[in-house]
Amino acid sequence: MKKHPYIVGLTGGIGSGKSTVAAEFRHLGIHTVDADYASRAVVEPNMPALAEIAMHFGKDIILPSGQLDRAKLREIIFADADQKTWLEALLHPLISKWIIAQLESADSPYVILESPLLFETDQHLLVNTVLLVDLPVNQQIDRASARDGNDKQQIERIIASQMPRQEKVNRADWVFDNALNQDTMAARIEGLHGKFMTFAQPTN
């Protein structure tokens, strides 16, 4: 029987630098599973979920390429809580199934589940420990708008729809302060890596 991997949940708000931190762990040979990618994979063309979304929201939610118009869908669900609830009920079980399969196939000493909504969904139940990439909200907004070219008000709405920053800090086992000098990032991640390697060792 395959041993279940030790799983580190990596989370952080939009623009916090979570993906950069995940990349540093990959450089150390650690397999990462991206929940955002999972959310895209389950709505690829010809996937059953995409057909259900088109039936619910209308065919114009599908781009001429056959892909989901994620920008349009995002506008709808952030403007209507009921629509957001409907979409989550459809997608979350599918996303969880995809994530679990990826986690169990990982072959590194431990595996990272990178998820912006780790606490807001049941994905936190999949992990052994949680690492939060933390950044003051004003810096999140500045970095996210510079990176994506999104309107700052839209980014503020996304942040407002997620768990408050302080609550995430309180619930996390480890907090990575990404407001510190970026030149220290690699060394700090190597320190965490050493701890996670120790925790991942078999106890018998």
pLDDT: is 2 or 67 the higher one?
A: 67
Q: How far apart are CA 115 and CA 19, in angstroms?
A: 10
- What would the mean pLDDT of 138-162 be, rounded to a whole number? 79
- DSSP per position, 158-185: HHHHSPPHHHHHHH-SEEEETTS-GGGH
pLDDT attached to residue 149: 64
Q: What integer pLDDT is reported at residue 1 of this predicted model?
A: 36
pLDDT value at residue 3: 63
pLDDT, position 145: 80
11 - beta bridge partners?
Answer: 132
Entry pTM = 0.83
Which residue shows structure tokens 């540093």? 24
Q: Map tokens 């709505």 to a residue.
A: 43
pLDDT at 13: 87
The arithmetic mean of pLDDT across residues 79-97, rounded, is 93
Inter-residue contact 171 to 119 (CB < 8 Å) = yes
Beta bridge partners of 62: 68
Residue with tokens 């450089």: 27
pLDDT at 68 over 50: yes
